[in-house]
Structure 1
């Protein structure tokens, strides 16, 4: 079976030096479980080898939203890198545990994307965590998505733990009063945090990406 989709490859930043690698892997899975709760996902995140994970989404909009929420809800001190690839996914077979073994241009693009994110991170842009590549989109569209990801990564990397939690809650559609109660702060403080941290602009950019061609 072959179909067009968004392949996602995730790896844990600095996993070799993590004091609790099992806990870090669990945190990534839990972050994506939360991110995917309200949106359809073709193949939920599964572990492949070492500290690498894979997932498949039916649209770029879903992949962008889920990877953003997942990164925002990661515990302090833990982070991941992600490559998103658009193209064809072909399922070859399934493992005894039910995980798919897949191939196709989307996976090749996702591999290129995560390697590019890693290269940029090591070449003077330490905030870079995400990249997008496509075998079936125009160069202009790919550049637009990657420009969004660069700005997204910069904003998220600069956020405090509370700012990330508030941004995640807002992205999930929670009311500011609800977020204020969960953080034991005022609604005004939530609004100010969303503005100061850049979360409000980030949410607007995400919405625009979803409305204008990232479907």
Structure 2
């Protein structure tokens, strides 16, 4: 068993209501979204499917794990919904050949995603999709609650606004996003204004910069 040199952020992902989904279409979409996310956000151990509809990845910072979660969520939206558990701590390599890991980062990530599954069933908290349990000295305690403010805003976006935000997160300009969405530049600008996408993007990028 080996120990990673630095403390890390482990990311657990699962698909909401996956058992009732078109399994073939879901699998294809997840693989494409994972590939796009791994290009957009570098992981210590890149995001990958494991058992069933669960995915795992390890990132050098909490911000990188959050950035990966936003990339994956927007790549899959609006058809597929996902939830995330992020754990800060130690990652132990149990079996490098088989990719088996353990450690406090994974225990915390499991606790976090279990919390999301349970808490999102509560009235008034249905939009919860992200939880953070960070045991590192560099932890930002407010990140957990702030991530769910982003969740709440994302949950209220219509399909078109999701597409526009996806382009903004990739750094595309208004013209490029409008072309990708098949709408006029003016219409895309209205999406940005009417859905408060700029402050939402600011919040996502700020969380994505956390240590």
Taking structure 1 as the reference length, the TM-score comes to 0.88
Instruction: Give the match for residue 100 of structure 2.
Output: 101
Deviates more, 1:181-190 or 1:130-139: 130-139
- Counterparts of residues 85-96 of structure 1 (less than 5 Å): 85-95=87-97
Instruction: Give the match for residue 66 of structure 2.
Output: 64
Give the drift of 1:190.
1.7
| Alpha-carbon distance in 2 for matches of 1:57, 1:48 | 17
| Alpha-carbon distance in 2 for matches of 1:138, 1:38 | 24
Provide closer, same or farther for how the CA distance between residues 148 and 71 of structure 1 changes in structure 2, counting only shifts above 3 A: same
Provide closer, same or farther for how the CA distance between residues 25 and 148 of structure 1 changes in structure 2, counting only shifts above 3 A: farther
SS in 2 for 1:36: helix
Provide closer, same or farther for how the CA distance between residues 197 and 111 of structure 1 changes in structure 2, counting only shifts above 3 A: same
- Residues 73-106 of structure 1: CA deviation (Å, up to 9, x unaligned): 21433111110111111111135xxx51000100
| Alpha-carbon distance in 1 for matches of 2:60, 2:138 | 19
| Alpha-carbon distance in 1 for matches of 2:17, 2:150 | 20
Instruction: Give the match for residue 187 of structure 2.
Output: 189
Deviates more, 1:106-115 or 1:200-209: 200-209
Give the drift of 1:64.
1.0
Please report the RMSD computed on the Cα atoms of aligned residues, expressed in angstroms.
1.8
- Counterparts of residues 16-165 of structure 1 (less than 5 Å): 16-18=19-21, 20-95=22-97, 99-124=98-123, 125-137=125-137, 141-142=140-141, 144-165=142-163
Gaps of 5+ in 2: none
Instruction: Give the match for residue 3 of structure 2.
Output: 2
Give the drift of 1:55.
0.9
- Residues 151-181 of structure 1: CA deviation (Å, up to 9, x unaligned): 1111111112221111011111111111111
Give the drift of 1:197.
2.0
- Counterparts of residues 200-211 of structure 1 (less than 5 Å): 200-211=198-209
Gaps of 5+ in 1: none
| Alpha-carbon distance in 2 for matches of 1:57, 1:173 | 21
| Equivalenced residues, count | 207
